Amino acid sequence: MRFILVDDILDLDPGKQIRGLKRIGIDEDYFRDHFPGFPVVPGVLLTEMMAQLAGKCLDAENPSRGRSMLAAIESAKFRHWVNPGEVAIIEATILVSRPQFAKAKCQVHVGEKLVATSELFFSFVPVSQFAPGFRDPVLERYYESRQQPSGQTPL
């Protein structure tokens, strides 16, 4: 199982704000158990979506600081179920960004509906601890899309 929970970045202001999306597949493996006959996206995965997206905003700001890692979930609320086939629009605003830590306020919408919110705390891990040449495929794709004439990431 891959653990990439952001499909595309829609807007990015490094170190400040980011918006992205995750298309929820109709046959995600976890729906078999969460829950039989009542498939909904687990809250921990919604939180991870927010963490991954906020992390990209931080990583884009200052790659030499290290890669952002979720260190604490200061708060998380899940207001509505997210169902198979829906598109989650994720947003993160960076509240504090320092050399050693960062905080972000995040939310997830499905359509007009606010389905989840969180405040997340990040630390940073030196880039040297990752596989040589590691690059974030979602961020890379975003930067590539910005170089195309349309400058748009398709929904």
Partner 1 sequence: MSQLEALRWIAQTFEESPERITAETSRDRIPAWDSLGVLTLMAGLDQDFGVLLSDAELRPMASVGDILNVLQAHGKISA
Residues noted as catalytic: 34
Determine if the peptide bond prior to 130 is cis (ω within 30°).
no
- From the list 70, 72, 71, 65, the residue with the least C-alpha distance to 128 is 65
Structure-token pair, residue 113:
């509906």
* Residue 72 in contact with partner 1, rule: CB under 8 A: yes
Size of the site for partner 1 (CB under 8 A): 9
Q: Work out the number of other CB atoms within 10 angstroms of the CB of residue 147.
A: 7
Report the distance separating Cα 64 and Cα 66, nearest Å. 5
Stretch that binds partner 1, among 23-31, 33-41, 93-101, 136-144 (CB under 8 A): 93-101
* Residue 62 in contact with partner 1, rule: CB under 8 A: no
Nearest residue (CB) to partner 1, 30 versus 101: 101
Which parts of 111-140 interact with partner 1 (CB under 8 A)? 121, 123
Under the rule (CB under 8 A), what is the footprint of partner 1? 71-72, 96, 98, 100-101, 103, 121, 123
